Structure formats: structure tokens, C-alpha cells
A and B are shown apart, each in its own frame.
Chain A
Amino acid sequence: MYRYDQYDQAMVDARVAEFRDQTERRLSGQLSEAQFRPLRLMNGLYLQLHAYMLRVAVPYGTLSGRQMHMLAHIARKYDRDYGHFTTRQNIQYNWIKLADAPDILADLASVEMHAIQTSGNCIRNISSDQYAGVAADEVADPRPLSELLRQWSSFHPEFTYLPRKFKIAVISSKTDRAAMRLHDIGIELVKKDDEIGAKVFVGGGMGRTPMIAPEIRDFVPFNEVVSYLEACLRVYNRYGRRDNKYKARIKILVHEMGADEYRRQVEEEFAHMKTLGLDPPVAELERIAAHFAPPPYETGLSDEIDLSDRDFAAWVGSQVAPHKVPGYAIVNISLKPIGGIPGDASSAQIDLIADLAEKYSFDELRVTHAQNIVLAHVKKSDLYAVWKALEEADLGTANLDLISDIIACPGLDYCSLANARSIPVAQKIAKRFSDLDRQKELGELKLKISGCINACGHHHAGNIGILGVDRKGVENYQLLLGGSGAEDVSLGQITGPGFDEDGIVDAVEKATNVYLANRTEGERFVETFRRIGMAPFKEALYG
């Protein structure tokens, strides 16, 4: 894992001091809320329906045990004993007092963490693949470049007041576990003539106008990535729309200008940027990469797992993924217990996961964009002990990528933007399909719920998506089918008129019945939908 040096530490310490001053100016009345708002937002502090919400950055989703323990400490000391892991691999606390916020940032800085740029119209936390470094098919570890870009984007003087927020994802496998092409910039590491570089996609996103990012450049050498991104951002900062916040994301610029014209302008700017010496030397990437060297794996381990315990076998079948090193496995910890709140974890659970990471996974863990946690290097001979511990903490649910592994935004229970509640719908659907055998019969089925058109719950990318809307003062839910945030990326289509809260649960069940009746051998839900189209689903839903 990356460790701060004195420069990184000085930077976050300065930020804590700055925010402490700003908060004091606010609390003493020197700053109005209007003046304070942009300052607190740059530090991830939102004013929600009931209280302040603090979003803490988890760079590219990677944490140490010590950092995870600190997240538990913050939940316990400053919040209501729980935190919420988000679709951008971060964690949010929902019940924060303004006066505590500087102390929380200081606690975070003590373990090399921060909340810098987790909000505001700036470059947000870089997200990445939760299997980074352990996936057998990756071209190179995506985390060193992600960390290089974290540093480059932190306090970037030209790109702090962009037209709108800006999200970057970095992956390095053909398998996309980070919804890469649904980001403002998606980077896929690729190899060309034995040289590793970046394939760059620009202009993806969800929100009210979902778009899949087109490829803008097939290869940028590693030592020119910063210049290239500066060029991409400069064209956006100068020409992105500022007249309408709903048309201000870069996807609208790329769409209205056309990918070819955007590419042409970026190339022109890039040619100029390359002459300015903006790129860190390769030695800097190598310095960072050394922090991500593989942990000291044992050799000669057995790949045998005793699956005589049926519940354990079911968990292994669902939650454990292949690791590139013999004798090791990747463990996915579900934060989606049936009837629970997707992505929520109590401080006790967070502490337990931190303990497991320290004991069984080289002191390292990852947050996934699907709001689960990954222990990336667990010995197969330790899997049973890990499962036992998870089971006792209500973390042993075996539902990865099944219909109850729901992505949901906080919705109207917390969020001041929401039109409808998301959490109760997620809970009802999970309960409707609570029988695990039934879920397995349905197979991979990614269900995603947003409580408003801003799409924080990724409903456009759900095999089944649900969008909460306000219809004449009543919560109403639209159903979308056929979306995907993976390498077969696609946007869901709306089935037709919406449903009420119980109606949407019935509608989801009807859609799954159409799938079961029509699928061919081995066909996933999204594949059946693509083959047979919307008509049979509409027929079942609306008669």
C-alpha cells in the first residue's frame, strides 16, 4: 500500500489547519453559510436533510487495517455508530456536527487519510478495480497510476472550479469491475509493443443524461498521462457549459461538440502541454509502484478447500474469487444482509473487518463500487476461519452479484436531493427474494436503485434498474432493464409507466419470471434481455 512521505503528510496537515480556521470563522459568524458552503464542500462536508454528512476519500478504494479501524472510531465517536460505503469506494457519515468536523479531519490525517475533493466541482477521488494487483488478467497494477493521479489532482489550481464535478476511474483488465466507461474520464491500462500506457475514454456518466464514454485516444505513454489529462481538462474547463448545471458535465460537451472535434482540440492542447514539463519522471511512478509490490506470499500452499460444511461451501461458491497466486483467494465481504441497508456497516463490523485484514490479508482491504468489501489475499486454508468470523458479525451473506446484492443510494431517508426513498425498496426486494436458492437460480443479476434522477445508485447501469421519482407528491418508481456497468457496458431502458413502492417489488419479480421462462442454457438475465428485447417484459408488466 502507498504510505505518505513528509510531503504528503504536510499537505493533509495543512488542509486540516485551513479547514479548522474556516470552520471557526463560520461558527463565529465571520463567514455566512453562502460563503462557507463552497469551502466545506471542498472538504466533503454536505448539509443533508437532518444533519451534516461527511464523505471521506478512500483513494482507489484501498485501505490498511489501521485506517479501517480509524473509520470505525469516527463512526463510534462522532456519528451514530455506523458508516455507509459508497459507489465511489468512499465512506460517508450521516450525522456529523459541524464543530466536530475539523477534529475528524485531524483524526483522518493521523492515519494518512482525508476528505479532500470528495465534493465540489473538482476532480474527485480516483476509483479503480477492487481486484487490482491480484487479478490474473491485468496488464499492470492500476494503483500506482491512480496514486500518481491522486497527487496530481489534489489542489489542482486550474481545475478546482470546473463546470461540474469530475470523476476518473483507472482499470487494467478487460474485465471492468469499476464501471470505467461511465466516468468523466475512464482509463484502461493497455500494452502496446511491450510498452504500458493508457487508453483514454472521455465523456461517460450517469445522472439525468446517461452516456457511455467514447474512446478518445488509444494509447498515451505512461510518462505523458498527466499532460494528456491536463489537456482533456483544459478543453473542458474552457468550453464546458456553465449556463445550466444539468448540462455542465463533460459528457454533454463531448456529445455536443462530437468526439472527433473534442479529440482534435485535446490533441492540439496536448501538443502544447507536452512542452511544459508537467509530467513527473518515470522514477516517481516507480517510487509509488514500489509501495504496491506484491506482499510476501507463501509458496507451496495447497489449493484444496474442505467444503464439507454446506453453508461454508455456499459462501465460498458465491464470495470467493480466483487469485493469481496458488493457495490464495480473493474474499468478497457482503454489506448486503437481507433486509439491511446496502453499504452500511456498524463500527463493530468495520473493526472486525480491519482485524481480519490484519490477520489474514496482509493488512490490506478494498472497498468496491458495488458497496462491498474485499480482502484481496486470503490463504485458502484460512477461508473457513474468515467465514466463521464474518458469520458471527452478520457479514457472511453469500449473495455477490445476485439480486439481493443491491446498489442503492441513501435516498429520501437522508438526501436533500432525493425524490423518493431507496433503502426501503432495496429492503423489500431483498426480502422478496430472500431464499438464497432462488437467488442462485436467477444467477448474476445486478439490481441498482436511485432515489432521484442524479443516479447515485447507478440505476442506468443495472441489469434491473429502479429510479425513484416524485409524481404529484407521491413516491413513484420507474423500472429499467438491460443496463450494465461492466465491460459489456450498456444503458438500461425504461419499461413504461412507474409503480408504487409495493408495485415495483412485484414488477421486479415479474421481470425475473420472464427471464426464467425465456433463458437459454447458461444465459444471464442481461443476455436474455438483449436477445428477446423489451416486448415480452412489457407484456408481463402491463398486460
Chain B
Amino acid sequence: MIEFLSLRPTQDGGAGEAAELPAVTLESFAGQSNATAVRIEPGEDARELLPHLDRIALVEVNFPVFGDGRGYSAARILREAGYAGELRAVGDVAVDQLSHMVRCGFDSFTPDKPLDPALVEQALTRFPTRYQKTVDPTVPVWALRHG
């Protein structure tokens, strides 16, 4: 079973290791100029991080309950602003949310409950195409239709 999942490519092409960085709260991040990892809770404004993206290596986005979808917007906002570091979903994350999370820019996961590798593989490959353009590299259907 998978307790930590990384989709970040490493130099040898294998799965990435967990960045073992202590993530600080968004509130304390502003006052700690040496902090490189930060954790965002639902309701916190991811845009507060935008002036500091060049020094961040890891952003954790917490999902206390899967039904609170604010973290999807937080992730997309960071990627839209060019953040290229690790973006990790933590908390109530199940296989059924994985593909949407990836499409919003998450590339690692620390779920409360371990994930079944076979179901993870299936969830990430189930849909051959997608209708929307987001921040992942998937070419949307409308672009496939019109070259």
C-alpha cells in the first residue's frame, strides 16, 4: 500500500522521494525568510505566497475532508503563477480524487489512509482525454479537434 505517492520525475526517471522539509504555517512563513516549505489550510489565500515562489521547494495543501474543494483552487493558482516546486496534497485524499488533483497541479500525495497501487494506476490512466485546459500538460479535446 502507498503511504506517500510522488509523481515528480527524478533525474534517473524513477519516482521522487518525499521532500523531508518541515512545512510551516502560512502565517509564520512570512516572518521566516529561510523557510522553504509551507502548508496551506482551507480558507487561506494561496496568493499570499506568490511574491515568494522562488524560494519555496514544497507547498503542502491540506484537505481535512475530501469534500472541501478549496485546495484545488489553491493548487491551480500556484501553478498558474509559475510555481514549479513540489505541490503536495495531504489529508483526506483517496484514489477517487487523484486525477482531478493532478490536473490542478498536485504532484505528490500524503493520504491519511494508504492507497492501493493498482487503483492508483487505474485512476491516473482511466480517462484518455479531457475537456478542459488546466495546468497539467493534457491537451484538451477542443485542441485535438482543431489541431
Contacts and interface: CB of A to CB of B under 8 A. Distances in A.
Interface in B127-147: 127-134, 140-142, 144-146
A541 interface: no
Given A7-B141, A159-B69, A161-B67, A283 B146 contact: yes
Contacts of B94: 35
A238 B126 CA distance: 28
A175 interface: no
A443 B120 CA distance: 60
A272 interface: yes
B128 A157 contact: no
Nearest to A21: B122
Interface in A138-171: 151-152, 154-162
Interface string A32-52: 000100110000000000000
Majority SS at the chain A contact face: helix
Q: Which 5 pairs across A and B sit closest by C-beta, in order of nearness?
A: A161-B69, A157-B103, A280-B142, A157-B100, A7-B141
Contacts of B128: 10, 14
Tell me which of B45, B76, B131 has the highest count of chain A C-beta atoms within 10 A of its own C-beta. Answer: B131
Given A161-B66, A162-B69, A284 B142 contact: yes
Tell me which of A158, A272, A276 has the highest count of chain B C-beta atoms within 10 A of its own C-beta. Answer: A158
A514 interface: no
A157 B134 contact: yes
Given A272-B80, A278-B133, A11 B72 contact: no
Contacts of A152: 131-132
A281 interface: yes
Interface residues of B, number: 34
A38 B131 contact: no
A287 interface: yes
A276 B132 contact: no
A272 to B, nearest CB: 7
Contact of A121 (B67, B73, B103, B104): B67
B126 A7 contact: no
Given A7-B141, A158-B134, A237-B72, 20 more contacts: A11-B129, A14-B128, A152-B131, A157-B99, A157-B132, A157-B134, A158-B73, A158-B76, A158-B104, A159-B72, A160-B72, A161-B67, A161-B69, A162-B69, A237-B70, A238-B45, A238-B73, A281-B146, A284-B142, A287-B145
Interface in B43-66: 45, 66
Nearest to B81: A272
A277 B133 CA distance: 8
B59 to A, nearest CB: 16
Given A155-B127, A155-B131, A242 B68 contact: yes
Contacts of B3: none
A14 B126 contact: yes
Nearest to B63: A161
16 contacts: A7-B129, A7-B141, A11-B129, A38-B67, A38-B96, A151-B131, A151-B142, A156-B131, A157-B104, A158-B73, A158-B104, A237-B69, A238-B45, A242-B42, A242-B68, A287-B146
Given A14-B126, A17-B126, A155-B127, A237 B73 contact: yes
A7 to B, nearest CB: 4
Nearest to B134: A157
A162 B70 CA distance: 8
Interface in B74-112: 76, 80, 94, 96, 99-101, 103-104
A13 to B, nearest CB: 9
Contacts of B145: 5, 7, 284, 287
Contacts of A159: 69, 72
B141 A151 contact: yes
A9 to B, nearest CB: 11
A425 to B, nearest CB: 35
Nearest to B144: A7
A22 B101 CA distance: 19
A519 interface: no
Nearest to B130: A155
A468 to B, nearest CB: 29
Interface in A219-237: 234, 237
